[in-house]
Structure 1
Amino acid sequence: MILNKKNFIKSISIIFCVLISSSNCIAQSQKKPNVIIIYTDDQGAVDLGSYGSKDIYSPNIDKLAKSGTRFTQSYVAAPVCAPSRAALLTGKYPQNAGVAGNTSATPGSKGLAASQYTMAELFKDNGYTTGHIGKWHLGMDYESSPNAQGFDYSFGHLRGCIDNYSHYFYWEGPNVHDLYENGKEVFYDGVYFPDLASEKAINFVKNQKEQPFFMFYAINMPHYPYQPTQKWRDYYKNTPKPRGDYAAFISTIDERIGFLIDTLEQLGMRENTIIIYQSDNGYSTETRAFNGGGNSGPYRGAKSSLFEGGIRLPTIINWKNNLPENTVNNQFLMNIDWMPTLAQLCNLTTSIDSIDGLDTSEMIQNSAAISPRTSAFWKYGNQWVVRKGNWKLIGNPKDTSNKGKLDFDKDALFLSNLSVDVSEMKNLADTYPEIVEELIATYISWEHGSKDDIPKKIQTVSHIGTTGEILAKSELHSNYKNIEVLLDGKLGYADYSTGQWIGQEGKDLEFIIDLKTTKQLSEISLSYLSSFGNWVFPPKKFEVSFSENGKAFSNANIKEIELSKKENNTNTASLNLNIKSRYVKIYIKGIGACPDWHTGAGNPAWFFIDEIIIK
């Protein structure tokens, strides 16, 4: 074969590239495995093709599942963003990690404490380069920042969500720009954040040639605002909204994961990189998410709920040619287990003490092996769960998927057997009272369980209003229209989500009560709730006036309600009377906006009321 100069140079170039690629492969094979944890945001329990979705296109993630292990009983330790992330990175229950709920967006506010030992610090102590890309949501002070928590490199937003083009955080005032690289604010005006994050993730991987790396790729999708690319909007143009935009966001995720995997392949790193894919909690049914878009499949619940749909989520592990392929693993594990599991798989030497996670590496390497995890606890707000074997007991359950009604006379303790029915649509508490008692005792024995958490029987109160009729004269909030609870004689728990409360955001409420006949009235009381962490404040004013014909009202009595900074849970405002009347008009004025001292200062404030007690 005769080579001309051009062909000779081309041949030498090919040989050179092969040698470089081979040297990369040899270098990668001689060091500890790289680790990438891909953590999506507010993704539904079945929202991938590999998890049974018929209307979502996710070929790259599905390929990870096909060439790896897909879990069917994988859980996160909390149903919302921040505590789920804290649990993942520390191997601890959120309460032990010090992040039991979502962290504040206020500049300088604390989050994950510096004293917590994170997964990033574990890998760093074992010679890894560590990187965080995407969402953080674990605090706004330096000690809580990614670079102070073991990450050599960080790029992304610190708060819970941003607009993907302006990179502004809109959900607590004032509107604020939120994009940082290694603690320094950076500006990429108008550049699509998922593309920015993808580019930064790929560049981070490309720069790791001499030592292994750990990357926490915290993708901020499909969390609202739903802003998929036009390519994927067009693909789902015939899918009704919000499902169409949500699905397009999943495909936007999938496409960028494909870019990352292609990079690993090109660099010869693929076989020496462990990839974990997981969602932080279930899909959102919040107003800003258009009340849905995601799908929890056979499971009840969504984000903010401790039913399965809020915490049992898509999870995949893939280590090409090193871990089982095309495997479905039905064993029980949690996100707190990844820290000790990865330490074992990567042969890390640093000891990990005082964590709640368990090493599940043997079960992952052999799906026939039994998981070391047989029980777990969850606690979020006043909801709590203890799972022991296949029995699961929920205290004060909340169904954000709205798949069924909860009767808080009967369902305050909700028992399921997950080996028989994963839907959690039937409460077995009355059928197996001995199991309920056993699980209550187990929960109380947990360091964060308490007898005070156990639901008490709903209090009832007898008053003349229960025989009357109530009519709303102001616009009700779309989520709180069951005004009959205001005269049902039952007092609500100290939680606005129990179905016993009527809520209003930023506006006032007005009702007319028809007592059917003229009656002598001596007192009218209003039950209300304080929960500042949920932006719930006492009403500013409670006013009653009276009428014999239901049209002309007079003799107004007003109760001003003092706003205290102290959380008081349930409260009562009362007016003493001496009047005869058939019709009573009730006017409740809210404070309007969150006060200056609150993290949501300037934004619409909520108030919640329950029983209107008429004597």
Structure 2
Amino acid sequence: MRTNFFSLLNTKHINLFILFISLHCFAQNKPNVIVIYTDDQGAVDLGCYGATDIYTPNIDKLAKQGTRFTQAYVAAPVCAPSRAALLTGKYPQNAGVNGNTSHVPNSHGMPNEQYTLAELFKDNGYKTGHIGKWHLGMSAETSPNAQGFDYSFGHLRGCIDNYSHYFFWAGPNVHDLYENGKEVFYDGQYFPDLASNKALKYVEDNKENPFFMYYAINMPHYPYQPTKKWREYYKSAKKPRGDYAAFISTIDERIGFLMDKLEALGIRDNTIIVYQSDNGYSTETRAFNGGGNSGPYRGAKSSLFEGGIRLPTIISWKNNLPENIVNDEFFVNIDWLPTLAKLCHFNLPKHIDGLDMSEMIKTPNTASERTGAFWKYGNQWAVRNGNWKLMGYPKDTSNKGKLDLENDALFLSDLSEDVSEMKNLADKHPEIVEALKAKYLAWEHGYETDIPKKTKPINHLGKHGKIKAVKKLNNRYKNIEVLIDGKRGYVDYSSGQWIGQEGKDLEFILDLNEMKSISEITIGYLHNPSNWVFSPKLFEISFSNDGLTFSNTIQSETSTKINTKHNFIDTLTIQTKQNAQFIKVNIKGIKNIPEGHEGASNSGWIFIDEIIIK
């Protein structure tokens, strides 16, 4: 007698078996997603973006297997806010990360209530992993594991030495390597290899289940520490370009390892891969003032010119999305969250700033849903509408050209005509300037105090006098004559019109050349909390006829704006009735940054631009 296999199973077992098979197939149909985010990579520093002196075959192959964007942006020109924008689909200001987060142990970063890509994928049945750099919080509640990641391995601060895994750039030196919130030690082992191996293992461990992996590669951020193999390959290249290029090839090789692993596991066709840089290349001293290349664009890291925010960006889903496509449409990294959600058939989260660009990716030559965007970093801001882009207080960290403090404070570009942004069109198109200013002010984070105003000379009693410092000045701010030149400064501490001090008071003696009747003394100050600059507590004055003995000390009222979040310039004033030739002015700094700020417990800065005597 013949026995049917299924006759040996009861109905309950058959149903469970069918359910298991169905769930397995359903899981397999969900695409895996890997977001690769590099660190401080220049706008054209890949072979597929035109670099002829950098070898990047694996990333170039990735571009051929998908879409390479030529007009893709990040929402901030530095690390932490760019990453917050990527992970939340929101402008950095709405994600709660205006600038780089603090390195101080247990300091908070991106608020825990923010809904991240990791939480989106987790809520849709995915395993979620973070490998590499975090830079979005040092506290447990703002750590990767608290922001939706099941697994995390990497460093929490902005950068580390790749062999000791120490953060050296603000004392005291701190070991910074963690796995799932626990400090781990791999002394002497090369971090890019550690991260690569963890990424490969994560993929292998989760090959049977849909997974999301945020692979935040910490290169080519300083310190430039490429492998010996690639250092040798570029030994004839001029420094620092050679070391930087070797770091890019080090990245490329490890991305090759990842691609090979996906192919070997048979899941490459079921994996969406996104590649993007977080901001432009660094021109900081620790990066030897450069190494990267922004190509035709002006600007680099920390700049809102194109070179700081328009960056290499690729998406590839082999045999599922169009391949070998060059897309010239407008795209911002806040758009990744809704775009990936749509490609994976998730419901789109509410209250985000990003736009779904999936149709533009699936159907080449489709116009972008995005026609405009906003940027704000420190005192710099930018608004784009169509091809017109207006910047306030622009900075050119690539040093490709000079900016006039007054005439270029508002800088207009037409990106359809000139992506180099070397010529300011503001005077030629005042109507466009006004229209874009109005758009910026209509944005929830645009303030009237952000708009540059023409400086008007101020005539006062100290303008033709002399000034000397009583307390030691910061080495970067010693041109104290600007404090009595009759000019107020812009909302830019580096404009040359400001004198700054970190964690200490400022004190000066003014000589009016002769006895004068004095009724009022005012100091102008800057409040720029995203750059750790805060309103002074107060200032005090005393008087002398001989410049040696001072008396009649008077204090101003305490500033009430120390904790205000947005940037502005303001004044503190003392009313008096005094005859004197010499005035001693002491400006009280805040010493430590207030609680609630990402730099809390660090030394705060004060900046003043004019001591006005009437």
Q: TM-score when scaled to structure 2?
A: 0.82
User: Cα 1:577–1:47, aligned 2, differ >3 Å: closer, same or farther?
Assistant: farther
1:534-593, CA deviations, whole angstroms, 9 ceiling, x for partnerless residues?
344659999999999xxxx86679999999892585556889985669xx9x99999798
Match of 1:566 in 2: 562
In structure 2, C-alpha distance between the alignment counterparts of 1:58 and 1:528, rounded to whole Å: 48
- Matched with 1:211 is 209
Which consecutive unaligned segments of at least 5 residues does structure 1 have? 1-25
TM-aligned CA deviation for residue 224 of structure 1: 2.1
8 Å Cα contact 1:173-1:601 kept in structure 2: no
How many equivalent residue pairs? 580
**In 1, Cα distance between equivalents of 2:111 and 2:452:** 32
Query: Is the CA contact (8 Å cut-off) linking 1:172 and 1:600 kept in structure 2?
Result: no
Inter-partner Cα distance in structure 2 for 1:272 and 1:80: 32
Q: In the aligned structure 2, how far is the partner of 1:481 from the partner of 1:61?
A: 47
Shift of the 290–567 alpha-carbon distance from structure 1 to 2, 3 Å rule, reads farther
User: How many Å separate the matches in 2 of 1:70 and 1:101?
Assistant: 28
How far apart are the structure 2 equivalents of 1:340 and 1:510? 53
Shift of residue 491, structure 1, vs aligned partner: 0.4
Shift of 1:343: 1.9
Three-state SS of the structure 2 residue aligned to 1:310 is helix
The answer as to whether partners of 1:378 and 1:384 remain within 8 angstroms in 2 is yes
1:331 shift after superposition? 0.4
Task: Map 1:17-416 onto structure 2 (within 5 A).
Answer: 30-346=28-344, 348-416=345-413
3-state SS, counterpart of residue 253 of structure 1: helix
Q: Are residues 561 and 405 of structure 1, via their aligned partners in 2, closer, same or farther at CA, if it must alter by over 3 Å?
A: farther
* Cα 1:248/1:607, change in 2 over 3 Å: farther
The 1:115/1:522 distance shift into structure 2, 3 A limit, reads same
The question of 1:440 aligning with 2:437 is answered: yes
Amino acid at match of 2:268: R
Contact 2:504–2:591, Cα closer than 8 Å, also in 1: no
TM-aligned CA deviation for residue 312 of structure 1: 0.8
Deviation at 1:308, TM superposition (A): 1.3
Match of 2:445, SS state, is: coil
Q: Map 1:415-434 to 2 at 5 A.
A: 415-434=412-431
Say which SS state the counterpart of residue 413 (structure 2) adopts: strand
1:477-492 aligned within 5 A: 485-486=482-483, 488-492=485-489
8 Å Cα contact 2:592-2:600 kept in structure 1: yes
Identity %: 69
1:509 shift after superposition: 9.1
The CA distance in 2 between the partners of 1:237 and 1:573, in whole Å, is 60
1:299 Cα deviation from its structure 2 partner:
1.6
1:479: Cα distance to partner?
6.4
Deviates more, 1:413-422 or 1:140-149: 140-149
Structure 1 residue 614: Cα displacement: 6.6
For the residues of structure 2 that align with 1:562 and 1:205, how far apart are their CA atoms?
61
Question: Any unmatched runs of 5+ in structure 2?
Answer: 1-23
**Which residue type is aligned with residue 74 of structure 1?**
A
Partner of 1:611: 610
Distance 1:596 1:362 in 2: 46
Match of 2:19 in 1: none
CA distance in 2, matches of 1:229, 1:563: 55
Going from structure 1 to structure 2, the CA distance change for 1:608 and 1:349 (only over 3 Å counts) comes to closer
Contact 2:522-2:571 at 8 Å conserved across structures: no
What is the deviation of 1:450? 3.1
Greater CA deviation, 478-487 or 209-218? 478-487
Moved more, 94-103 or 201-210: 94-103
How far, CA to CA, are the matches of 1:107 and 1:481 in structure 2? 33
Please say if residues 590 and 606 of structure 2, whose CA atoms lie closer than 8 Å, have aligned partners that are also in contact: no
Q: Which segment is superposed worse, 112-121 or 592-601?
A: 592-601
Change (3 A) 1:507 1:109: closer
Q: 1:476 to 1:405 in 2, by over 3 A?
A: farther
Distance 1:511 1:302, change over 3 A: farther
Assess, with a 3 A threshold, how the Cα gap between structure 1 residues 152 and 465 changes in structure 2: closer, same or farther. same
Q: Cα RMSD (Å) of the superposition?
A: 3.8
Q: Secondary structure at the match of 1:217?
A: strand
Instruction: List per-residue Cα deviations over 1:22-41 (Å, max 9, x = no partner).
Output: xxxx9899522221110011
**1:604 Cα deviation from its structure 2 partner:** 7.0
Secondary structure class of the residue paired with 1:331 = coil
Q: Matched residues in 1 for 2:538 and 2:243: separation?
A: 39
State whether residues 88 and 337 of structure 2, in contact with CA within 8 Å, keep that contact through their aligned partners in structure 1: yes
Deviation at 1:104, TM superposition (A): 2.3
Matched residues in 1 for 2:600 and 2:81: separation? 23
Q: Which residue of 2 aligns with 1:5?
A: none
Deviation at 1:133, TM superposition (A): 0.4
Q: Which stretch shifts more, 359-368 or 533-542?
A: 533-542
The separation in 2 between residues aligned to 1:419 and 1:373, in whole angstroms, is 16
